[in-house]
Amino acid sequence: MTREYLKKAALTPKSDASETHKIVQEILDEIEAGGDAKALEYAAKFDKYEGNVLLTDEEIEAACALVPEKLKADIRFSHDNVRRFAELQKSTVHDVETEISPGFITGQKAIPVDAAGCYVPGGRYSHIASAIMTVTTAKVAGCKHITACSPPRPGVGVAPAIVYAAHICGADQIMAMGGVQGVAAMTFGLFGLPKANLLVGPGNQFVAEAKRILFGRVGIDMIAGPTDSLILADSTADAHIVATDLVSQAEHGYNSPVWLVTDDRTLAEEVMRLVPGLIDDLPEVNRENAAAAWRDYAEVILCANREDMAACSDAYAPEHLTVQAEDLDWWLGQLTCYGSLFLGEETTVSYGDKAAGTNHVLPTSRAASYTGGLSVHKYMKIVTWQRATREGSKPVAEATARIARLEGMEGHARAADVRLAKYFPDETFDLTANG
């Protein structure tokens, strides 16, 4: 049976990449040349904020005092979950060594990057959870310096709850600067900050393009597009919950795709009936985003069976993947392409986005086909080392010399030759490429 689209997307999530690139490249070039002053100029233009760029201890304390105690408790709960999950991830990486051959020892070490720059969106929504997700994992990884950067609001500054979250999660500096100028400041080491070795965190298309351009001179978590979510549901699923979950993710933005893949036509039709009413019930900004996303980017796909549903999902490689179907263990074993997986009605993408402990900085635009999301491992360099006795070096030197000569790399071969000559002066070796 061919897959049937009960609803097909009219658009695909993409921006005018060439125009965005041109704008961002110009801003980056000007800030790199002009330093602090040029970054402040762009901050005044785009952020419309002229307060301190780096928050003082007194400003952090004052902002934290504005956060209600109930919200503080929720932030601490989320932080604790994210921290414990990151610690679990870190425990899976070990410094190891092995005697690869007699007298020749090789090993690996996990070394955290020195300086991490964590971008925390604060425009349309105040992404408190992004501060928790990015700063906490950097802290657990062992980064020596963590900068949290978030766009300030005119006359207000960085949202107090973001300040509180970044502070308790371990940020060494909190920077009130948004967009390309904020990314540039962390990368170039402006305002006395150390130059970031790694930039992480979500952002709009300009932030994403800045990270893409800067990648290479600085590490990045990923190049993120609009957030996307897919739900796999069978006849046992609750249509109201499925519809609610789709709408909850569509509110991210006008171009955030949501997809329903099912083998039950009745469920699909009921979900499609329910979604418009759930969207209409949202607050204005959320409603406008969700309505546009559902209208232009959402899809409802009817498959023949669960095997076809799983194959369809893997082809989409969604950022967020929810399964509301029987036999969850089967789905866990079968599915291979997703940023984060939510098994069963009892959990939801919103849990992962805010407080469950798994990270919400995840691959979008089908990038889940080749990478996972942000984790404590992203902040760590897995490096290798080796040492040897002279006797242990002998067979490796012989093989190296011959392989190098076969490749035409005589200099490499001679680096092996001189060791053999020094360590074993009374021996003769056949180090020619052909024998």
Which one from 127, 167, 319, 360 is the annotated catalytic residue?
Answer: 319
Query: Could you give the CA distance from residue 187 to residue 219 in angstroms, rounded to a whole number?
Result: 10
204 is in an annotated binding site: yes
Tell me phi and psi for residue 40, to 5 degrees.
-65, -35
Q: Give 74's contacts (C-beta < 8 A, 6+ positions apart).
A: 355
127 is in an annotated binding site: no
Query: Could you give the CA distance from residue 230 to residue 237 in angstroms, rounded to a whole number?
Result: 14
119 is in an annotated binding site: yes
251 catalytic? Reply is no
Computed on alpha carbons and rounded to an integer, the radius of gyration of the chain in Å comes to: 26
320 catalytic? Reply is yes
39-63 burial, b at 16+ Cβ within 10 Å, e below that, comes to: bbebbeebbebeeebbbeeebbeeb
Give yes or no for a contact between 361 and 374, defined as CB atoms under 8 angstroms apart: yes
Query: Could you give the CA distance from residue 223 to residue 210 in angstroms, rounded to a whole number?
Result: 9
Which one from 320, 360, 407, 427 is the annotated catalytic residue?
Answer: 320
Parallel, antiparallel or unpaired: strands 104-112 and 219-220? unpaired
Query: Could you give the CA distance from residue 213 to residue 121 in angstroms, rounded to a whole number?
Result: 19
353 is in an annotated binding site: yes
412 is in an annotated binding site: yes
Binding-site annotation: residue ranges for Zn(2+): 249, 252, 353, 412
Known catalytic residues are 319-320
- Sequence ranges of the binding site: 119, 181, 204, 249, 252, 353, 412
Q: Which residues are annotated as a binding site for NAD(+)?
A: 119, 181, 204
